[in-house]
Amino acid sequence: MTNAIQILEQSITEALHSIYGLSNQKILLQKTKKEFDGDYTLTTFNYTKETKKKPEEIGQEIGDYIISKNPSLKDFNIVKGFLNISFTTSFWCNYLNETVAAKYNGYKKLNSTGKTILLEYSSPNTNKPLHLGHIRNNLLGFSVAEILKANGHTVIKTNIVNDRGIHICKSMLAWQKFGNGETPESTDIKGDHLVGKYYVEFDKVYKKEIQELVEKGLSKEEAEKKAPSIIEAQDMLKKWELGDKDVMTLWQTMNSWVYKGFDVTYKTLGVDFDKIYYESQTYIIGKEIVNEGLKKKVFYKKEDGSIRIDLTAEGLDEKVVLRADGTSVYITQDLGTALLRFKDYPNLNQAIYTVGNEQDYHFKVLFIILEKLGYAWAKECYHLSYGMVELPEGKMKSREGTVVDADELLDEMFETSKQTTQELGKVEGFSNEELNELIKTIGLGALKYFILKVDPKKKMMFDPKESIDFNGHTGPFIQYTHARIKSIIRKANEQNISFEINKSFNDINELERELIKYVFEFEQAVEESGKTYNPAVVANFIYELTKTFNRYYHEHSILKEENKKIQQFRLVLIKQCAQIIASGMHLLGINVPEKM
């Protein structure tokens, strides 16, 4: 298909060589700012040194050359060191015709890049249900996976479940002491919620014990170590690592409750995985790696019996990789998980870890240790760090039971979606089944878009009510626009109006030109989003396209347009806009309704 950027780059390259004798120059093109005339802008400051000319003079000479040589280019203007270049209306009309003829959705590549990427996301603990922070993690990971696939990569979506450790033992111990044998079935409580209840219960008892010991004269630090509950939990962890039958049976039972609960939440969110790893398996490999590293003197044993690595030369600190009692720490199991993944997928080109920015230091340490151990693939490990999700009330704390539960939030989104839809009168003509599906689609669209429109690196404030505004920078606004276009298309089909553009037609206005450019530039947005692992690029691109369409819809008639050529062109244009909206939202994991 015709590519405007490639045409411009080639024309400018020829101009630089023909006029100035320059070769292999970097061509810096960007979209022309809205306050100036033009489609794309070339920065000419970069060529002043070689040409010994002023930026404006360079712009004039390049502009004259490319306009005279390329019939696709219409005119140009110069603003200081910026050359603004415009394509002809015929060029844009022909491009639209080509995209429609090719049934082009804006991003599907014909050829694979040959690159295989493993993407980890979710990473839950089996001592509590998923919460709002996990939702951002899952939505970000799933969307990045879809965007990478759209860029031609093979993607393996993985989940690493933290199903062992002291925090797991805390829930187990509390259930053992206070649970009275209750189960998800006997209480009608979702399994992950039931286990999470006892994690919170442990923390309450533990804090009370600490306070009592402090009142007896111990320091807070001493009390935290000597509290009976934490000592019992540590003993249980040792028994677990030794394979104690009773402890293992309890662990397997409670974890099975949690997995069933997780599966329900994942299904509702619309995320999935190609492979799931469990830290109860990978920590064993991690221990073997540590022992091997000890022999190679990558690690050393301290007087207290713990095994460590000194990373002060790298600007970090001394890191424990195995406790004195022989139990593993997070880094131990992460070493094992990394090695297992590259063994499972020998052709793997990259491993991406989707984990919150509070773990930035941890992943610096992990990747450096893997390099020191001699794994060449360590350089291909990347931490996709993202900011925390906060609420107006502040941060969430799992131990204190103040997190925003994922299931409760989803239910709230669906209820808000239902109320908003009813208030706006968008429920007519739907069966109960269709209406329930629409409410779910809008609620999920609101949640996903609100989270994914924010750059992952930034922390964000989540407001459920704001996210579902049909007139704001939201998923429902985009979904409703898509449904509006589909409604126009249905009516056109009912009237047997042709969806073909006359090849000689080029009578388009500025908004139509802008919409065609959005169709063209979508692929670039997908590429940028893939390179930066940032779904917000796609999310905000689709919003800007949607805003422009709504301006166009309010200013120009489509079905009532009397000139048949213009009418047919407009129908083809808006149909392609709907395709781009649907494609973009798909990359965010969001469905768009056919009617609302």
CA distances from 5 to 65, 72, 277, 384, 549 (A): 17, 12, 43, 30, 23
Q: Which two tokens stand for residue 22?
A: 């320059």
What value, to the nearest 5°, has the Cα angle with vertex 531 and ends 593 and 143? 30
Per-residue confidence (pLDDT) for residue 131, from 0 to 100: 92
Rounded to the nearest angstrom, the gap between the alpha carbon of residue 172 and the centroid of all alpha carbons in its chain is: 33
Question: What's the per-residue H, E or C state across 533-563?
Answer: CCHHHHHHHHHHHHHHHHHHHHHCCCCCCCC
d(CA 528, CA 362): 28
Per-residue confidence (pLDDT) for residue 422, from 0 to 100: 81
- The amino acid at 87: F
- Residue 487 has, within 13 A of its CA and on its CB side, a CA count of 10
String of b and e for 198-230 (b: at least 16 CB within 10 Å)?
bbbbbbebbeebbeebeeeebeeeebbeebebb
The pTM is what?
A: 0.92
Per-residue confidence (pLDDT) for residue 465, from 0 to 100: 80
Set out the domains of the chain in order of their start, with CATH numbers.
4-87 (3.30.1360.70), 121-279+336-390 (3.40.50.620), 448-587 (1.10.730.10)
Start-end of H helices in 55-183: 55-69, 89-101, 132-150, 166-178
What is the length of the chain?
A: 596
pLDDT in tens, 313-371: 999 999 999 999 888 889 999 999 999 999 999 999 999 999 999 999 999 999 999 99
pLDDT in tens, 488-508: 999 999 999 888 777 777 889
Contacts of 422 (CB under 8 A, 6+ apart): none
Per-residue confidence (pLDDT) for residue 399, from 0 to 100: 43
Per-residue confidence (pLDDT) for residue 402, from 0 to 100: 54
Nearest to 392 by CA among 283, 321, 465, 324: 465
Reduced DSSP (H G I as helix, E B as strand, rest coil) percent helix, strand, coil of the chain, to 5: 60, 10, 30
Beta strands in 121-251 (DSSP E): 154-161
Per-residue confidence (pLDDT) for residue 498, from 0 to 100: 82
Rounded to the nearest angstrom, the gap between the alpha carbon of residue 124 and the centroid of all alpha carbons in its chain is: 17
Q: Which residues pair with 383 in a beta bridge?
A: 353
pLDDT tens string, the chain, 596 residues long: the values are 568 889 999 999 999 999 999 998 989 899 999 899 999 999 999 899 999 999 999 999 999 999 999 999 999 999 999 999 999 998 998 888 888 877 777 766 656 899 999 999 999 999 999 999 999 999 999 999 999 999 999 999 999 999 998 999 999 999 999 999 999 999 999 999 999 999 999 999 999 999 999 999 999 999 999 999 999 999 999 999 899 999 999 999 999 999 999 999 999 999 999 999 999 999 999 999 999 999 999 999 999 999 999 999 999 999 999 999 888 889 999 999 999 999 999 999 999 999 999 999 999 999 999 999 999 999 999 999 999 988 766 544 444 445 789 999 999 999 999 988 888 776 677 888 989 999 999 999 999 999 999 999 999 988 878 888 888 999 999 999 999 999 999 999 999 988 877 777 788 999 999 999 999 999 999 999 999 999 999 999 999 999 999 999 999 999 999 999 999 999 999 999 999 999 999 999 999 999 88
